[in-house]
Amino acid sequence: MASKQAFWNVPAKDGEPDLWVCMSCLNEAFCRKVPMPACPSCQGVSTYEAFTLAAVQDWGTEELIAKAVAAQRDEATHSAAAAATPPMESVQ
Ligand SMILES: [Zn+2]
């Protein structure tokens, strides 16, 4: 059985927060996408709300902040790679 996490892509609008944090477990953060069908940590559905990194840094735990920073960095890397090469899903 595949355990690969699936995501909904959530395009960010100008000026709107693009970090999605699970408000149920406060233990997961993703950038411009939310896990589907449920939160991988607490299995919560529709528990994600959008925040800016500054907001997460204001009230998040160190672990959550680290995940948020990593998520934004991954998103930036992914966006740059997508712009440079044709869309292609890596098989792992
Ligand atoms: Zn959760």
Per-residue pLDDT at 15 = 86
* Mean pLDDT of all residues belonging to the chain: 90
Q: Tell me the domain boundaries of the chain.
A: 6-83
Question: CB burial class (10 A; 0-12, 13-18, 19+) of residue 71?
Answer: buried
Which pLDDT tens digit goes with each residue over 20-63? 999 999 999 999 999 999 999 999 999 999 999 999 999 999 99
Look at residue 83 and tell me whether its pLDDT is greater than 80. Answer: yes
Cα gap 55→5, rounded to integer Å: 26
Please tell me the pTM assigned to this model: 0.82
Query: Which residues are close to ligand 1, an ion, with C-beta < 5 A?
Result: 22, 24-25, 39, 41-42, 44
Two tokens at 59? Answer: 């009230």
Ligand 1 centroid, distance to 85 Cα (angstroms): 33
Ligand 1 centroid, distance to 46 Cα (angstroms): 9
Ligand 1 centroid, distance to 91 Cα (angstroms): 26
Q: Classify strands 48-51 and 19-22 as parallel, antiparallel or unpaired.
A: antiparallel
Look at residue 79 and tell me whether its pLDDT is greater than 80. Answer: yes
